[in-house]
Amino acid sequence: MSRASDSRADGARQRAGSERRDPSPPQANANPASLSPRAGFEGRIALITGGSRGIGRALALSLAARGALPVINYRVNEQAARATMEEIERLGGRGHAIRADIEQLEDLERLFDEVASRFGRLDFFVSNASASNFRSFMELKPHHLERTFNLNVRAFVIGTQRAVELMDAGGRVVVLSSYGAIRSFPTYANLGAAKAALEAWARYMAVELAPRGINVNAVNGGIIESDSSAYFYSTGRVPPLETVLPKIPKRRMGTVQEVADCVLFLLSPAAEYVTGTTLVVDGGLTAIAPPFHADIPLGDAVAASAGERGHHTDL
């Protein structure tokens, strides 16, 4: 399948017609305390890849609750997609689900063709779908690299190009990254490098798309309680989770809702002036380094604290 032509993009714009929103940020100069929670979301069309589970699902429900129409993309789990749609309807919202394997370029193009055909426009694009293999560097084969690149990086880049064609009145793009983009840990090299590329792409896109009224940002999540982290820590190729969590300043995993709320902020009117950056949501994980506080024996920690109280230095 070929890339979108100019005529196809023109047709999408014509179908949108009077539905186009005002390009100025909704109530941008209003007192934030006076804004409705639905301000900036009501009637918006939001495409979320990997939207049937985890962070994508939490975001879809949050958007629906604020009057947006989430379009959730899923690959194979129709049951999870159906459950998400039912929950959207229970919240009084509307949504749409599209099955597409965005690792395949043809499916990625078809996904955006359907969005253009059905809605004629797009306000938010959230690139959330992600997967990889977890192997050490020397175990990686060419097909591991290719598949990880296609699903994570190519799908984001081509997807954003297609999304921009539907954002004549401006819009928001957010890509989900992870702390493996800036930290090294076992078996994560392939996906971590891809996540680092996503953050770099977000910066370049932000600069080029700002004149169009389109903001592009990344959200870098830490260890989040989800199916993905459960699988990663079940491989037996990394230290047990219970040995990792005490080293995080917050001493716990994050929740998918906590990450979704940060994405929601970047889609909101409050983030109108935020573009080209990465928002880190990791409980302080990337703020620390060895020696770790958690590794200090309790008795030593108490003694050290007492010593500090008894010793003063003039500054």
The Cα–Cα gap between 57 and 73 comes to 10
Q: Which of 74, 141, 179, 188 is catalytic?
A: 188
Q: What is the pLDDT of residue 27?
A: 47
Concerning whether 188 is annotated as a catalytic residue, the answer is: yes
φ, ψ at 176 (rounded to 5°): -90, 125
Q: What is the pLDDT of residue 238?
A: 94
The Cα–Cα gap between 30 and 295 comes to 48
Asked if residue 16 has pLDDT above 60, the reply is no
CA–CA distance from 306 to each of 34, 295, 298, 311, 312 (Å)?
A: 49, 18, 12, 9, 12
Q: What is the pLDDT of residue 295?
A: 86
Asked if residue 59 has pLDDT above 70, the reply is yes
Mean pLDDT, rounded, for 110-134: 97
Concerning whether 231 is annotated as a catalytic residue, the answer is: no
Which of residues 228 and 7 earns the better pLDDT score?
228
Q: Which is it for strands 69-74 and 171-178: parallel, antiparallel or unpaired? A: unpaired
Q: What are the residues whose beta carbons fall under 8 Å from the beta carbon of 76, sequence distance 6 or more?
A: 99, 101
The Cα–Cα gap between 196 and 192 comes to 6
pLDDT band at 304 (very low <50, low <70, confident <90, very high): low
Mean pLDDT for all residues in the chain = 89
Which of residues 129 and 17 earns the better pLDDT score?
129
Exposure of 214 in the CB half-sphere (CA atoms within 13 A): 27
CA–CA distance from 281 to each of 185, 262, 305 (Å)?
A: 18, 8, 30
Q: How many CB atoms are located within 10 Å of the residue 296 CB?
A: 13
Per residue in 173-217, pLDDT tens?
999 999 999 999 999 999 999 999 999 999 999 999 999 999 999
String of DSSP letters for the chain: -PPPPHHHHHHHHHHHGGGPPPSSPTTTTS-GGGS-TTTTTTT-EEEEETTTSHHHHHHHHHHHHTT-EEEEEESS-HHHHHHHHHHHHHTT---EEEE--TTSHHHHHHHHHHHHHHHS--SEEEE---------GGG--HHHHHHHIIIIIIHHHHHHHHHHHT-TT-EEEEEEEEGGGTS--TT-HHHHHHHHHHHHHHHHHHHHHGGGTEEEEEEEE-SB-SHHHHHHTTSSSS--HHHHGGGSTT-S-B-HHHHHHHHHHHHSGGGTT--S-EEEESTTGGG--SSPGGGS-HHHHHHHHHHHHH-----
Q: What is the pLDDT of residue 20?
A: 45
Cβ burial, residue 163 (10 Å; 0-12/13-18/19+)? buried
The Cα–Cα gap between 151 and 129 comes to 8
CA–chain centroid gap for 280, Å, is 11
Q: What is the pLDDT of residue 57?
A: 98
Asked if residue 148 has pLDDT above 80, the reply is yes
Q: Can you give the pTM of this predicted structure?
A: 0.86
Q: Which of 74, 195, 231, 273 is catalytic?
A: 195
Asked if residue 2 has pLDDT above 50, the reply is no
pLDDT band at 52 (very low <50, low <70, confident <90, very high): very high
CA nearest 26: which of 230, 211, 224, 172? 172
